[in-house]
Chains A and B, each alone.
Chain A
Amino acid sequence: MYVIVVGGGKVGYHLTHTLVAEGHEVALLESNPARASQLTGELGDMVVIGDGCEVRVMQDVGAGRADCVVAVTGHDEDNLVICQLAKRHFQVPRQIARVNNPKNEPIFHLLGVEETVASTRIIYSLIDQEVESGTSLLLTALRRGKIVIVSADLTPSSPAANRMVKDIHLPGECVLAAIIRDDHILLPSGTTELEPGDTIVGVARPEDQHALQEALMGHGAPPERNSS
């Protein structure tokens, strides 16, 4: 795959490093000449000095044949424009944008950039849910965020505790994927009885996450905060 990474900060550097190690062809664009020459010293010739917002620069690195453009600069408006130009001007099949201010994430989606990574939001939601006891923990998102994998630790007061899987009303298309009990991984069946102390791993749509949490752990859990 040919990937153009725009922005040679820490994220751009490590991403390029990883992609190259996996055998992908990568161009890393960095507009600051001093930073670019530092990156060239570490990564080699794939580093190009230039502003990824400039159509000419993108043309010169072969944006027309790129499979993916990843915009990871520290400026959201730059990342958005880079992805829009990649999509509209160069018809790059995939564009992925880093969103620095999580508040801007809906704007990216509104303006046609579907794949966004808001590290602040992800870390916040992990911390937030860790701190609140009795909530489910978002483990990861799949299918561009349309599916989430969550875990929930059952307590003696959880409504799902001491009940069989078939007696728990699960919302939507939720699936209980695994039960972790005393460091063993169990595959749940309808007659499996859930126990306090179990960690339940579920797969759900983000809109069902809260209902799943309620089915397993009961009310009193805070509403989902990171819906967009």
Chain B
Amino acid sequence: MRVVILGCGRVGSTLAAILTREGHEVSVIDRDQGAFDKAVQRLGADFASETVRGVGIDEDVLRQAGIEQADAFVSITSGDNTNIVAAQIARHRFHVPKVFARVYDPIRAEAYREAGIETICTTTVGAGIFHDLVLGRPLADVDQYLGRTPNRKRPPQPEG
């Protein structure tokens, strides 16, 4: 599978390393060369197939990272709005089959999920997990933390 990841922070670089290890072709975009250097220190030089320096809402940068051939796009910078906009470009401009965006703000995450962008609100998930831990309850399913009902119909996701 060909995956483009926007944002080479801890989550982005770790996800890249996992997918790369599994044999997938992964390009990582970040505007800061330092982010790639840190990822190499933490995860080794082969943590991604390719790194591209640039702004993720720039179509030329996305093309350079191979978004036109991508099966999946994950937007995971520290900026909610960057992730939201990049995910929409991936979906509506490049028609990437699978598009995911991390959004810290639960309200924005919900608003854009309703608009058809698969947003993952790690704030809600994290708070939910700690909530259950504090109360000594067994951990639930991620969908429940995201506030989705388990049977909620999800958009079709073709295999990559």
Interface residues of A (CB under 8 A from B): 53-56, 75-78, 80-81, 84-85, 88-89, 103-104, 107, 110-111
Indicate with 1 or 0, residue by residue over B49-86, a CB within 8 angstroms of chain A CB atoms: 00000000111000000000000000000011110110
A55, A80, A88, A107: the one within 8 Å of B107 (CB): A55
B115 located at the interface, meaning its Cβ lies under 8 Å from any Cβ of chain A in the complex: yes
A78 to B79, CA, bound (A): 10
B143 located at the interface, meaning its Cβ lies under 8 Å from any Cβ of chain A in the complex: no
A10 to B92, CA, bound (A): 33
Check B57 against A54 for contact (C-beta < 8 Å).
Answer: no
A54, A80, A85, A103: the one within 8 Å of B85 (CB): A80
Check B57 against A85 for contact (C-beta < 8 Å).
Answer: no
Check B89 against A107 for contact (C-beta < 8 Å).
Answer: yes
B108 located at the interface, meaning its Cβ lies under 8 Å from any Cβ of chain A in the complex: yes
CB contact under 8 A between A111 and B92, given known A53-B81, A77-B81, A81-B85: yes
CB contact under 8 A between A54 and B92, given known A77-B79, A77-B84, A80-B85: no
CB contact under 8 A between A54 and B105, given known A77-B81, A107-B85: yes
Task: With A53-B81, A103-B59, A107-B57 given, name 12 new contacts (CB 8 A).
Answer: A54-B105, A54-B107, A55-B107, A76-B85, A77-B57, A77-B84, A77-B85, A80-B81, A80-B85, A81-B80, A85-B108, A88-B115
B119 located at the interface, meaning its Cβ lies under 8 Å from any Cβ of chain A in the complex: no
B93 located at the interface, meaning its Cβ lies under 8 Å from any Cβ of chain A in the complex: yes
B111 located at the interface, meaning its Cβ lies under 8 Å from any Cβ of chain A in the complex: yes
Check B93 against A85 for contact (C-beta < 8 Å).
Answer: no
The majority secondary structure among interface residues of chain A is helix
Chain A residues with Cβ under 8 A from B57's Cβ?
76-77, 104, 107
Check A110 against B81 for contact (C-beta < 8 Å).
Answer: no
List 27 interface pairs A-B (beta carbons < 8 Å), by A numbering. A53-B81, A54-B107, A55-B107, A55-B108, A76-B57, A76-B85, A77-B57, A77-B79, A77-B85, A78-B81, A81-B81, A81-B84, A81-B85, A81-B108, A84-B115, A85-B108, A85-B111, A88-B115, A103-B58, A103-B59, A104-B57, A107-B59, A107-B85, A107-B89, A110-B92, A110-B93, A111-B92
A88 to B110, CA, bound (A): 12
Chain B residues with Cβ under 8 A from A76's Cβ?
57, 85
Which residues of B (83-136) have their CB < 8 Å from a CB of A? 84-85, 88-89, 92-93, 105, 107-108, 111, 115
Closest Cβ of chain A to B127, distance in Å, is 17
With both beta carbons as reference points, the residue of chain A lying nearest to B89 in the complex is identified as A107
Check A55 against B111 for contact (C-beta < 8 Å).
Answer: yes
Closest Cβ of chain A to B110, distance in Å, is 9
Chain A residues with Cβ under 8 A from B59's Cβ?
103, 107
Closest Cβ of chain A to B75, distance in Å, is 11
A103 to B58, CA, bound (A): 8
Chain B residues with Cβ under 8 A from A103's Cβ?
58-59
CB contact under 8 A between A75 and B81, given known A88-B115, A107-B89, A110-B93: yes
CB contact under 8 A between A56 and B107, given known A76-B57, A81-B81: yes
Chain A residues with Cβ under 8 A from B105's Cβ?
53-54
A71 to B82, CA, bound (A): 16
Chain A residues with Cβ under 8 A from B111's Cβ?
55, 85, 88-89
Check A53 against B80 for contact (C-beta < 8 Å).
Answer: yes
Count chain A CB atoms within 10 A of each CB in B57, B81, B92, B105 and give the residue with the most.
B81
